[in-house]
Amino acid sequence: MLSGEVIAVTSGKGGVGKSTVSVNLAIALARKGLDVALIDLDIYGFSVPKMMNLSNRPKTFNGRIIPIESHGVKVMSMGFLVKDNDPVVWRGPMLGKMVEHFKNDVTWGKLDYCIIDMPPGTGDVALDLHHHIPQSKEIIVTTPHQTASLVAERAGKMTIKANHDILGIVENMSYFQPKDQSEKYYIFGKDGGDLLADTLNSDVLARLPIEEPNESSQTPSIYAENTNLCHHYDHLATRVDEKIAHKAH
């Protein structure tokens, strides 16, 4: 059974960094000593196994799936169930079954948090998740670009319509700051996160800078400890944890 606080990471547009935020937030929460699961529900564009450099499939025990553990996080992905990167053809009801499968047939153990990497947009999976895990809360990822934030607004409004809680906005690729310089360059514009937060009556939990991936690492999208982005993610994890604690009271 899936326990703990379920946080779905969504976006309006694709490519804004939703999976990167899901993975690094999950790892940052685990770094704080919390028990964390990460579910990659991005059915068409699952990327978590690649990002975390996971090539093994999970084992089963007594008919139940044992999630793969990496960077202190228990991971399940659609990618583990698909052969050789084959394309997946999904019909609506299958998506719901998959949510139920991950929820009920995986031996998660005790969890503080379950981070779910959602597909972009406001499609079937988002509706299914709301239906099957009504207590789930949402983090919406956007870039500062106004188009991205306008599209993200639609995802957010659906969350509100479904009576779900928006935990906050993460503005990714907010700016670029060259090393040893104080000046920030707003490459994708400014204010997209604030605009979205205002419209949805929420707040911006983090503004994450653009940084080059560490190509020499086997996991270039996972920000190593003591890097600038790692500090940003630790700060985000603290804010998420505080907000959840606040909501519980």
Ligand X SMILES: Nc1ncnc2c1ncn2[C@@H]1O[C@H](COP(=O)(O)OP(=O)(O)OP(=O)(O)O)[C@@H](O)[C@H]1O
For residue 77, the surrounding DSSP H or E stretch is strand 73-77
Through-space distance between the first and last CA atoms of the chain, rounded to whole angstroms = 25
For residue 50, the surrounding DSSP H or E stretch is helix 48-51
Residue 159 binds ligand X (CB under 6 A)? no
Q: In angstroms, what is the minimal distance from the CB of 16 to ligand X?
A: 5
Q: Distance of CA 162 to CAs 47, 68, 197, Å? A: 27, 32, 18
Q: Distance of CA 117 to CAs 12, 46, 125, 138, Å? A: 13, 9, 11, 10
Residue 10 binds ligand X (CB under 6 A)? no
Identify the residue among 161, 213, 228, 242 touching ligand X (CB under 6 A): 213
Q: Across the chain, which distance is largest between two alpha carbons, in Å?
A: 57
Residue 173 binds ligand X (CB under 6 A)? yes
18 is in an annotated binding site: yes
Q: Cβ-closest residue to ligand X? A: 14
Residue 45 binds ligand X (CB under 6 A)? yes
Q: In angstroms, what is the minimal distance from the CB of 142 to ligand X?
A: 10
Residue 189 CA to residue 192 CA, distance in Å, equals: 8
Identify the residue among 74, 221, 236, 237 touching ligand X (CB under 6 A): 221
Chain center to CA of 66: 21
Identify the residue among 211, 214, 238, 239 touching ligand X (CB under 6 A): 211
Identify the residue among 54, 114, 208, 237 touching ligand X (CB under 6 A): 208
> Footprint of ligand X on residues 110-139 (CB under 6 A)?
120
Identify the residue among 5, 35, 40, 42 touching ligand X (CB under 6 A): 42
Q: Which stretch binds ligand X (CB under 6 A): 13-21, 81-89, 92-100, 184-192?
A: 13-21
Beta carbons of 119 and 41 less than 8 angstroms apart = yes
Nearest alpha carbon to residue 38 among 71, 85, 86? 71
> Footprint of ligand X on residues 56-85 (CB under 6 A)?
none
Residue 206 binds ligand X (CB under 6 A)? no
Buried b (16+ CB within 10 A) or exposed e, 160-197: eeeebbbbbbbbbbbbbeeeeeeeeeeebeeebbbbbb
What does the per-residue mask of binding to ligand X show for 92-111, with x meaning CB under 6 A?
--------------------
Residue 20 binds ligand X (CB under 6 A)? yes
Give the nearer residue to ligand X in terms of CB position, either 120 or 193: 120
Footprint of ligand X (CB under 6 A): 11, 14-20, 42, 45, 47, 120, 172-173, 208, 210-211, 213, 221
Which residues participate in the annotated binding site for ATP?
12-19
Which residues participate in the annotated binding site?
12-19
